Chains A and B, each alone.
Chain A
Amino acid sequence: MQPSLSNYLLVGAVLFVCGVICMATKRNGIGVLMGVELVLNGANINFVAFSKFTALGLDGQVFSLFVIVLAAAEAAVALAIALNFYNNHLTIDVDRGNKLKG
C-alpha cells in the first residue's frame, strides 16, 4: 500500500507539534533551538510530500532545499547568540533570562 498524502502530512504535523512543544517546554536553550529545527523539518516534509502529490511539483523540493540552507544559517546565528548568553549568564537556561520584563 502506497502511503497517501495525508500520511505524510500527519508525520509533518506530528513533527510540527513536537517542535512547538519542545520550544515551549525546554529550559535548555539548545533544546529550544532543536524544537525550532523540528518545526522546520515538519514543514519540509509537507513541502516534499506536496511536491509529489499536488500541482506544486518541483517547487516544493526547491522550497525545502532553501529551508534547509536557511535553517542551517539561522541555527549558526542562534547558537552564537546562545554562546553569548552563556558568556554573560554562565548558563543556557532560558528561564534565567528574566531581567527584561514588564
Chain B
Amino acid sequence: MVGETLRNYLMIAWLLPLAGFVVEIFFGFYSKNPRHSKAAAWCAVGCIGAGFLCSCAALVTWGNANDWCALEHHDSHGEHADAGHETAGHEHGEHAAGDHHVAEPAHNAAAAGEDHGHEHAVAAASGDAADHDDHASGSQQTTYSGVLYTLGKFGSLELSLDYYIDSLTLVMFTMVTLIATCIHLFAMGYMSEELTDEYVDHQAHTSDGKHVHRPGRFYRFFAFLSLFCFAMLGLVLAGNIFQVFIFWELVGICSFLLIGFYTERKSASNAANKAFIMNRVGDFGFLIGLMVLWTFFGTFRFGDTTNAEGVVAEQGLFSMVHRDEATGNFLTEPITGDVLITDNHGHALQQDGQNRSIPYYLLVVAGLGVFAGCVGKSAQFPLQTWLPDAMEGPTPVSALVHSATMVAAGVYLTGRFFPMFVQEVLLTIAYIGCITLFVAATIAVVATDIKKVLAYSTISQLGYMMLGLGVFGWGAGLFHLITHAFFKSLMFLCSGSVIHGCHHEQEMPKMGGLLKKMPITAITMLVGVCAIAGFPMLFGLHFSGFHSKDAIVASALAFMKANPSHFLLFFIPLLTAGITAFYMFRLWFYTFWGTPRDHHVHEHAHESPWIMTVPLLILAPLAWLCAYGGESGPLYLMLTGDAPSHLANGVAAATEGGLVMPGHEAVHAVHIQAGLLALAAAFSGALIAYILYGTNLVNVEQMKNQLSGIHGFLANKWHFDDLYDALFMKPAHKVAAFCAWFDKTVFDSILHGSAKLVVLVSQWDRIFDEKVVDGFVNLLGTSTQSVGRSFKVVQTGRLRQYVMFIVLGVVALFAVVFTTFPG
C-alpha cells in the first residue's frame, strides 16, 4: 500500500517533466509566437515544481509509514538510547562522534556476541525488503520495490522497468527536484535574451566574420531541461541496474543537447560530442559489467519482487550475494573459491543440481565495469576532460546537469550498487577518486574562466565523494553528494549571475570588485565558497560542506589507520582540502573583491533581476544548513537509513582483498582528529588565497612567471587532452581511414585478384596487360573479357584450323576417357 502510494507520487514527479517536454516542444512548433513567450518556461517550472511537491509528499509518506524509524534507529544503534534526534540540533558533529566513540566497546561486543539488538539493526538497515521476514519482528519496511512493466521475457530471464524506493531514492528525488526548480526559475531570467526573433550570437561567426543571427530558442531550452529532469529522475527511481543504464544514456543525450545548445558554435558542438563520446567510453565498461551480472545472476533488479501474498517471487541482486555477517566476506564455494549465489536465507541456489556461483574475479570485473560507467558520468580520472569543456553550455545547464545532478549520478550509482562491490573494486574507487580530486584541484588553481574553476572544483568534489565511498564511508560519500549539490549549484548560479551581469564575460582577470555592484550574488557566492571550503560555524551553525567533508576525511583516516599502506588516501584529500579552499577563495576574491581590472566590464555590470536572485536566496541557506546536525542530523540519518547491511557494523578482520573495513566506531574515533586537520588545511588555503588575491601583498603575475613550468602544465590540464588525442582520436581516425581504404581497395582486389588469377591462368596472349583495371566489376568484366578474347584467338576464322581441331578434339576426348576409365 505504502509502496504503491510512494510509487505513484514519484512516478508523477518523474513523468511530469516528460509531459512538460512534449508540451513545450509542440508549443514551439504550433504556438503563434514561441519566440516571445515565456509560457514554455512556466510550463517547465510548473512540472518540476509539482515534482518537488510530490517528492516531499513521498518523503513524508515514507517517514510516516515507518514512524521515521530511520532517524531514530541510528541512534539506538550507537548508544542503545534515545539521542533525541528531533532536538539534536544543538549537538555538533564532534559531539556525536564522541558519543559513538564512547559506545564503541559496547558495539564490538554486540558484533561479537551476535546479540539480538545488533541483528535487528542489520536487518532494518539492509536494503532488502524481504530481510525483515526472517529476522526479528518490530523492524519496519523501509524499501519498496516493484515492477512497472516488462520489456522482454525470455524463458526465466526477464528485463523490466522497475522502481526501487528507499531513503536514498527519496532524498535524491527531493534534492533533484528542489534544485531543478530553483535553476529553472533562474534560467528564466538568464535565458531571457533568447526571447527574440533575432538573437545575435557573439561567439559564433560565419565565414565572412560576422556574428551569427538566429531566432531565439527559449522554448527549446526549457524543453531540453524538462527532458533532462525526466531522465534524471528516472535514473534515481530505477529499480534495476539496466534501467539505470537506460536513463544513464538519456541524461547523457540531454547533456549532449544542452551542452550543444548553441549549435552554431563549433566549440559547443565539439564539447557536446566529447561529453557524449567520453561518457560512452565509460558506458562501454558499464555494459561489460551488465553483461557479467546478467550472465551469472540472470537479473538486474536491486531488490526482490514479491507476489501478491508477499512471498518473494524473484530475487534481486542484493539478496543473491550474501555476506558473512562476521567478516563481511561473500559466501564462497569451498573448493573453487567462487562466490555463491544465494537465496534470501543465505543458502546457495541450485541449477542443474549444482550450486550457482560466480567466479570472484568476474565479480571484480562486474564491479569495475559498473564503476567505469560512473567514472565517465562523474568525470573521474581518466575520463575527466569532458566536464570542463561542457561549460560551453548555458550556465543553468552547468548548474543543474554538470554539477548538481547528472555528474553526481555516478556517485549515486556507486552508492546504490555498493553491496555488489568487492574490496578490490572499492580500493580502485578510492584511488580513482583520490587521483581525480587532486588533479582537478590543481588545475582549478590556475584556471581563469569562472565556470571552468567551478567545473574543476566539481570534478574534485566528485572525487571526494568517490573516495568516501571507496574507503567504506558510504554515508559520508552520499552525504557529500547532497551537500555538494546544493552549494555547487548555488555557486554556478552565482557565476551565471555574474556572467549575466557582466554581459557574458567569463574571464575572472577582467572582473574584480563586483561586490558592490552585485551584492546579493557576492554574498550568496561567499556562502557557497565557505561551504565548499568546509568552514565551520556561522551563527552557531556549521556550513554543510564542513560536515560532509569531515565525514569523508574521517573515513579516509580511519581507513588509513586500519590499512596503513594506503596512507595516500588520507593525505592527498587532506592536502586537497587546503587547495580547495585556496582556489575557491581565489575565485571569490578575484571576482568580487579588490579593484575592478576591466573598467568596461565593471561599468556595465549590474545585479541580476529578482527572478535570478531569488533562487540564489533560496539555495544559499540550503547550502549552508542542509547538513544540519552533521552525522546525527536528519539528512545524514535519512541517507544512511537504508545503508547496505555489511556497512552497518564494520569488521575487524581482514577481508578477501586483504583490506580491513573500518567500522563506524573506528570512524567516530578519529572524527575529531580528522576534522581538525581538515579545518587547518582549509583555513590555511583560504588564508593564502586572501594574501595572494585579497590583498596586494604579493604580485601574483610574478609568481606565475616564476612557476611558469608548473603553471603551464596545469593550465594545459596535465596535457590529458593532447594525450587522448594522440592515443585514441588520431589512431581511431587512422584505423577508420584504413578500414575505408581497405574496403575500397583490398576487398575488392581480393575478388579482382582471383579474377586476375583466372586471367593469368588462361593467359594465351598478351592483350590482357594492356587494359587498365579499375573497380571490381570492371576488372572481373575485363578479365572475363580478356579470357573471352583469348578464346577469340582460338576462333581464327580459318577453316583448316577448325578441321584440325576435330582431330585434336577426338584425341583429347579419347585421353579423357582413357584416363578416367579404370582399366
Given contacts A20-B807, A24-B807, contact A101 B800 (CB under 8 A): no
Q: Is the CB of B795 within 8 A of A32?
A: no
Given contacts A20-B807, A24-B807, contact A102 B800 (CB under 8 A): no
Contact with A along B793-823 (1 / 0, CB 8 A): 0011111100110110000000000000000
Closest 9 CB pairs of A and B: A101-B797, A98-B797, A102-B792, A94-B799, A24-B803, A23-B803, A24-B804, A100-B797, A24-B800
How distant is the Cα of A102 from the Cα of B788 in the complex, in angstroms? 9
Contact with B along A20-46 (1 / 0, CB 8 A): 100111110000100000000000000
Q: Hey, which chain B residues are within 8 Å of A101, CB to CB? A: 792, 795-798
Given contacts A23-B803, A24-B807, contact A95 B798 (CB under 8 A): yes
Q: Is the CB of B799 within 8 A of A97?
A: yes
How distant is the Cα of A98 from the Cα of B804 in the complex, in angstroms? 16
Q: Which of B792, B797, B806, B807 contacts A99 (CB 8 A)?
A: B797
A: residues with CB less than 8 A from B are: 20, 23-27, 32, 94-95, 97-102
Instruction: A32-B799, A101-B795, A102-B792 are known; give 6 further A-B pairs, CB within 8 A.
Output: A24-B804, A26-B800, A94-B799, A97-B799, A101-B792, A101-B798
Q: What would be 5 A-B contacts, judged by CB atoms less than 8 Å apart? A: A32-B803, A98-B797, A101-B792, A101-B798, A102-B797
Q: Is the CB of A95 within 8 A of B799?
A: yes
Nearest neighbor of B800 in chain A, beta-carbon distance:
A24
How distant is the Cα of A60 from the Cα of B796 in the complex, in angstroms? 39
Q: Hey, which chain B residues are within 8 Å of A26, CB to CB? A: 800
Q: Is the CB of B796 within 8 A of A27?
A: no
Which of A20, A24, A94, A97 has the most CB atoms of chain B within a 10 A radius of its CB?
A24
Give chain B interface residues in 620-674, CB to chain A under 8 Å: none
Distance between A19 CB and nearest chain B CB, rounded to angstroms: 10
Q: Hey, which chain A residues are within 8 Å of B796, CB to CB? A: 98, 101
How distant is the Cα of A102 from the Cα of B795 in the complex, in angstroms? 5
Q: Hey, which chain A residues are within 8 Å of B804, CB to CB? A: 24
Nearest neighbor of A17 in chain B, beta-carbon distance:
B807
Q: Which of B798, B803, B806, B807 contacts A98 (CB 8 A)?
A: B798
Nearest neighbor of A21 in chain B, beta-carbon distance:
B807
Distance between A13 CB and nearest chain B CB, rounded to angstroms: 14
Nearest neighbor of B805 in chain A, beta-carbon distance:
A24
How distant is the Cα of A97 from the Cα of B802 in the complex, in angstroms? 12
How distant is the Cα of A27 from the Cα of B803 in the complex, in angstroms? 12
Q: Is the CB of A94 within 8 A of B795?
A: no
Nearest neighbor of A36 in chain B, beta-carbon distance:
B803
Q: Hey, which chain B residues are within 8 Å of A102, CB to CB? A: 792, 795, 797
How distant is the Cα of A99 from the Cα of B795 in the complex, in angstroms? 11
Q: Hey, which chain A residues are within 8 Å of B797, CB to CB? A: 97-102
Q: Is the CB of A25 within 8 A of B795?
A: no
Nearest neighbor of B791 in chain A, beta-carbon distance:
A102
Q: Hey, which chain B residues are within 8 Å of A20, CB to CB? A: 803, 806-807
Nearest neighbor of B797 in chain A, beta-carbon distance:
A101
How distant is the Cα of A97 from the Cα of B800 in the complex, in angstroms? 11
How distant is the Cα of A99 from the Cα of B797 in the complex, in angstroms? 7
Q: Is the CB of B800 within 8 A of A94?
A: yes
Nearest neighbor of A23 in chain B, beta-carbon distance:
B803
Q: Hey, which chain A residues are within 8 Å of B792, CB to CB? A: 101-102
Q: Is the CB of B800 within 8 A of A25?
A: yes
Nearest neighbor of B807 in chain A, beta-carbon distance:
A20
Distance between A99 CB and nearest chain B CB, rounded to angstroms: 7
Distance between B803 CB and nearest chain A CB, rounded to angstroms: 5
Q: Hey, which chain A residues are within 8 Å of B806, CB to CB? A: 20
Q: Hey, which chain B residues are within 8 Å of A25, CB to CB? A: 800
How distant is the Cα of A100 from the Cα of B798 in the complex, in angstroms? 9
Q: Is the CB of B807 within 8 A of A27?
A: no
Q: Hey, which chain A residues are within 8 Å of B795, CB to CB? A: 101-102
Distance between B531 CB and nearest chain A CB, rounded to angstroms: 93
Q: Hey, which chain B residues are within 8 Å of A23, CB to CB? A: 800, 803
How distant is the Cα of A101 from the Cα of B792 in the complex, in angstroms? 8
How distant is the Cα of A97 from the Cα of B804 in the complex, in angstroms? 16
Q: Hey, which chain B residues are within 8 Å of A94, CB to CB? A: 798-800
Which of A20, A97, A100, A102 has the most CB atoms of chain B within a 10 A radius of its CB?
A102
Distance between A86 CB and nearest chain B CB, rounded to angstroms: 15
Nearest neighbor of B799 in chain A, beta-carbon distance:
A94
Give chain B interface residues in 514-560, CB to chain A under 8 Å: none
Distance between A76 CB and nearest chain B CB, rounded to angstroms: 20
Q: Hey, which chain A residues are within 8 Å of B803, CB to CB? A: 20, 23-24, 32
How distant is the Cα of A75 from the Cα of B412 in the complex, in angstroms? 104
Give chain B interface residues in 216-236, CB to chain A under 8 Å: none
How distant is the Cα of A94 from the Cα of B798 in the complex, in angstroms? 8
Give chain B interface residues in 412-439, CB to chain A under 8 Å: none
Distance between A77 CB and nearest chain B CB, rounded to angstroms: 17
How distant is the Cα of A25 from the Cα of B807 in the complex, in angstroms? 13
How distant is the Cα of A45 from the Cα of B806 in the complex, in angstroms? 22
How distant is the Cα of A25 from the Cα of B798 in the complex, in angstroms? 11
Nearest neighbor of A25 in chain B, beta-carbon distance:
B800
Nearest neighbor of B789 in chain A, beta-carbon distance:
A102
Q: Hey, which chain B residues are within 8 Å of A24, CB to CB? A: 800, 803-804, 807
Which of B795, B796, B799, B807 has the most CB atoms of chain A within a 10 A radius of its CB?
B799
Give chain B interface residues in 751-805, CB to chain A under 8 Å: 792, 795-800, 803-804
Q: Hey, which chain B residues are within 8 Å of A100, CB to CB? A: 797
Distance between B796 CB and nearest chain A CB, rounded to angstroms: 6
Distance between A12 CB and nearest chain B CB, rounded to angstroms: 16
Distance between B511 CB and nearest chain A CB, rounded to angstroms: 88
Q: Hey, which chain B residues are within 8 Å of A99, CB to CB? A: 797
How distant is the Cα of A95 from the Cα of B799 in the complex, in angstroms? 7
Q: Is the CB of A27 within 8 A of B798?
A: no
Q: Is the CB of A95 within 8 A of B800?
A: yes
Distance between A6 CB and nearest chain B CB, rounded to angstroms: 20
Q: Hey, which chain B residues are within 8 Å of A27, CB to CB? A: 800
How distant is the Cα of A24 from the Cα of B462 in the complex, in angstroms? 97
Distance between B813 CB and nearest chain A CB, rounded to angstroms: 15
Q: Hey, which chain A residues are within 8 Å of B799, CB to CB? A: 32, 94-95, 97
How distant is the Cα of A99 from the Cα of B798 in the complex, in angstroms? 9
Give chain B interface residues in 450-484, CB to chain A under 8 Å: none
Which of B796, B798, B803 has the most CB atoms of chain A within a 10 A radius of its CB?
B803
Q: Hey, which chain A residues are within 8 Å of B800, CB to CB? A: 23-27, 32, 94-95
How distant is the Cα of A98 from the Cα of B797 in the complex, in angstroms? 5
How distant is the Cα of A95 from the Cα of B792 in the complex, in angstroms? 18
Nearest neighbor of A98 in chain B, beta-carbon distance:
B797
Distance between B180 CB and nearest chain A CB, rounded to angstroms: 82
Distance between B614 CB and nearest chain A CB, rounded to angstroms: 93
How distant is the Cα of A98 from the Cα of B807 in the complex, in angstroms? 21
How distant is the Cα of A98 from the Cα of B800 in the complex, in angstroms? 11
Contact with A along B49-83 (1 / 0, CB 8 A): 00000000000000000000000000000000000
How distant is the Cα of A102 from the Cα of B797 in the complex, in angstroms? 7
